């Protein structure tokens, strides 16, 4: 039976099922309280976690999102049930930390990771097209590096306890969310009183949703970056059928719930600065491609024992801290005194995205293995 | 006979290596991988490329033998 299930989940039907479930669950979470077009956003939720811990002090985006621990622990459960938990670590962890940080800086310039780009599109936010185009461009660049021998090297097997560290950190986050202690006057744990951080689905539902998606995604290897990469690299549409299904199903569910509103200007938690929407996601796409997975996939890998993916996740949380502390994140379109104002990036944010692109290019160019002829 | 040792590598590098071996055409090709994900990814790519795939489980590692169909 487990073998048959494994073959099913590895099949096209399996990946389509995963995409469909995410496409239903994400708008549902939004209906139950999560911010608009943000039913699930791995980058935003990790940014909120960084805020909840006080690693940045942007008061509107602070909340220990239970979906993220759910992703890791659901993937871990699936990996153990199917005998796939395999602790490994040591494939250039410092590079993964840097890639994670810049992936986050790029995502927060756009205001969302690939998951949210899909959900924004499904909610009618046409700025997401620029984001997705940037994502594809960044990934296409990453594919060129992969083709020319880019690799961060092999990850050796290690003690199972190494693979447990990230899941245990996630249990710790959940405990902090549940107990909500205050560590000092005006100190963490922070909970936003207004803004996106104050909007959230009930704890138990968010956690169950996270566990379910983590479980399914571990079984099916759902990956938003991989879906575009595999098409460019080898004309393989397997993963893309999952990502495409996500968007399609989310459109339908959004229409049923009345969430969708078509347009460019004034979309929820979004800006219509096209250049930086494109470049922000291009940076993210390149960083994800060089690190071998989208932010969701990195969480699922961390759950099945991949210590390097865990370092990437920590890099994203660190990147979120820098992003908000240094005013690098995009500001949404706003209306002030009846006048619509286009949001976007500060000069610091623009500089950080460009710096990130330069760093990722350097990583791509300098970390190539001369292949032995086979 | 060609051997691709893809243990410890993650996707897509190992799939690229296996595909290069298929293009080089020295069948049968043995691909060594150490995860179920890698096994399934190589299997899917190889079957698409017109190969038959036989899997041999060796502890927690796998040896895939690719032959021309």
pLDDT at A374: 44
CB–CB of A40/A122 below 8 Å?
A: no
B45 vs A contacts (CB less than 8 Å): 234, 236
Distances in Å between the Cα of A140 and the Cα atoms of A118, A225, A227, A234 are 18, 10, 12, 12
Nearest to A154 among B8, B19, B48 (CB): B8
Burial class (CB in 10 A: 0-12, 13-18, 19+), A235: exposed
**HSE-up of A280 (CA within 13 Å, CB side)?**
37
Q: What 3-state class would DSSP assign to B32?
A: strand
DSSP H or E run through B56: strand B51-58
Nearest CA in chain A to B22: A374
In angstroms and rounded to an integer, the radius of gyration of the C-alpha atoms of chain B is 10
Peptide bond into A189 cis (omega under 30): yes
What was the ipTM of the complex prediction?
A: 0.90
Cα B25 → chain centroid: 13
A233 vs B contacts (CB less than 8 Å): 12, 16
Binary contact (B37, A226; C-beta < 8 A): no
Residue A194 backbone phi and psi in degrees, to 5: -145, 170
How many Cβ pairs closer than 8 A exist between chain A and B?
56
pLDDT at A3: 83
pLDDT at A157: 94
- Report domain extents, chain A: 2-366
CB–CB of A79/A263 below 8 Å?
A: no
Binary contact (B13, A151; C-beta < 8 A): yes
Structural domain total, chain B: 1
- The CATH number covering residue B16 comes to 3.30.110.40
Is any Cβ of chain A less than 8 angstroms from the Cβ of B37? yes
Please identify which residue in the block is written with the tokens 């840097």. A98
Per-residue pLDDT of chain B (69 residues; tens, 9 = 90+): 899 999 999 889 999 999 999 999 889 999 999 998 899 899 999 998 999 999 999 888 999 999 998
Binary contact (B16, A146; C-beta < 8 A): yes
Domain coverage including residue B32: 2-68
Q: What 3-state class would DSSP assign to A192?
A: coil
Cite the DSSP H helix spans in A32-66: 42-52
């Amino acid at each position: 039976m487990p073998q048959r299930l494994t073959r099913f989940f590895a099949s096209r039907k399996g990946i389509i099922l995963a995409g469909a479930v995410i496409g239903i669950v994400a708008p549902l979470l939004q209906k139950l309280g999560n911010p608009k077009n943000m039913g699930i956003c791995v980058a935003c939720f990790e940014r909120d976690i960084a805020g909840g811990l006080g690693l940045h002090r942007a008061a509107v985006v602070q909340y220990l999102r239970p979906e993220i621990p759910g992703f890791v622990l659901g993937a871990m459960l699936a990996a153990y049930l199917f005998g796939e938990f395999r602790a490994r670590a040591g494939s250039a962890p410092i590079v993964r930390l840097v890639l994670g940080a810049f992936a986050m800086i790029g995502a927060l310039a756009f205001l969302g990771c690939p998951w949210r780009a899909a959900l924004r599109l499904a909610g009618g936010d046409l700025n997401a097209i620029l984001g997705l185009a940037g994502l594809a461009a960044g990934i296409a660049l990453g594919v060129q590096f992969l083709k020319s021998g880019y690799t961060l090297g092999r990850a050796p097997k290690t003690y199972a306890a190494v693979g447990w560290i990230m899941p245990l950190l996630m249990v710790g986050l959940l405990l902090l969310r549940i107990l909500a202690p205050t560590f000092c006057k005006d100190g963490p744990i922070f909970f936003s009183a207004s803004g996106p951080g104050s909007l959230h689905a009930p704890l138990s539902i968010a956690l169950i949703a996270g566990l379910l998606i983590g479980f399914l995604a571990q079984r099916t290897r759902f990956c938003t970056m991989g879906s575009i990469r595999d098409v460019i690299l080898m004309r393989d549409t397997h993963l893309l059928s999952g990502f495409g299904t996500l968007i399609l199903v989310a459109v339908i569910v959004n229409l049923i719930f009345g969430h969708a509103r078509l347009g460019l200007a004034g979309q929820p938690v979004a800006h219509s600065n096209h250049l930086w929407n494109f470049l922000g996601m291009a940076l993210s796409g390149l960083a994800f491609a060089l690190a071998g997975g989208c932010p969701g996939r990195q969480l699922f890998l961390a759950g099945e024992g991949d210590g390097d993916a865990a370092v990437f996740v920590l890099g994203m949380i660190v990147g979120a801290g820098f992003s908000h502390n240094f005013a690098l994140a995009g500001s949404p379109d706003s209306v002030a005194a009846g006048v619509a104002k286009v949001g976007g990036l500060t000069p610091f944010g623009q500089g950080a995205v460009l710096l990130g692109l330069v760093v990722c290019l350097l990583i791509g160019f300098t970390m190539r293995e001369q292949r032995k002829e086979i | 006979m060609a051997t691709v040792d893809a243990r410890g590598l993650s996707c897509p590098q190992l799939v690229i290596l296996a595909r290069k071996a298929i293009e080089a055409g020295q069948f049968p090709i043995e691909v060594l991988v150490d995860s179920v994900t890698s096994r399934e990814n190589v299997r899917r790519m190889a079957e698409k490329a017109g190969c038959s795939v036989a899997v041999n489980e060796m502890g927690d590692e796998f040896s895939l033998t690719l032959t021309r169909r």
